[in-house]
Structure 1
Amino acid sequence: MLCVWWDMNGMIYWELLGSKSTLATAVYSQQLDRVAEATAYDKIDQSFKSWVVLPHPVYNPDLASSDYHLFQDLQLELDEQHLEKDEDVKNWLKNYFDQKPRIFFERGIRSLPTKWAQVMYNNGEYFE
């Protein structure tokens, strides 16, 4: 399982869990600690005060930028790969993320308002 955190500037943190791992609360909490270490968390904390929370369905992959943007592109690239060892997968992912231009990540984040409007227009139903 690939866990990712990214913003408009690129990949913040990613971690590949073992094939038999699950994302339990303890694992997720540890990951969040590592993400906080990789970011200027105190600046993010301050910006939360000016955010407006918008209504949205509990979970909708149309609103998950990793689902509709990053993972679709990643899958296209992976379709051509034959990686057998975990280390090969990790190295391939590192190269994939390192080679993605900033504009790729920026497009994914900037498309969120349009995606949100489409989801709300469709009453939370999935769309293509």
Structure 2
Amino acid sequence: MPTLLYVAVKLIAYIAWCWLGLRLWRVGSATFISAIALGSLRLAIGVVFGVTIFLAGPISDEHLIWKYIAIYAPVRVVEWSILAWVIGRRSDTQTGLIWILWCFGGVVVSFVADFASPQGIEGHFCVGRCLC
């Protein structure tokens, strides 16, 4: 049950953030259905990256917070950059600054949503076991 809650929190957070991206770059075609599709895509991308990190090898408990940030921050920049490209590729209003701020905000959304993970609820970090 805790894992389902975590996935639901991640999906809702991603849908909301993708809705903002749609409103920024595709105002005329920003629909809730599009936001759901993009949020689901973001979750799927996170699962692929998360499984890859998990399979890359064990991570020691030493300095876990720094490893968590060092591993997931750049991965999440890539993940949100993929979404920024998908959302904004047909937009005339996508600027570098908005792209950077939206991706940075997405990284923050991802980290905050990790508090709903089974490990986060227990006060731990889910390095190698999170859905990015």
> TM-score, length-normalised on structure 2?
0.32
| Higher gyration radius (CA) | 1
Q: Which has the higher strand share?
A: 1
Q: Which has the higher helix share?
A: 2
User: Which structure would you say has the larger RCO, counting Cα contacts within 8 Å and 6 or more residues apart?
Assistant: 2
> TM-score, length-normalised on structure 1?
0.33
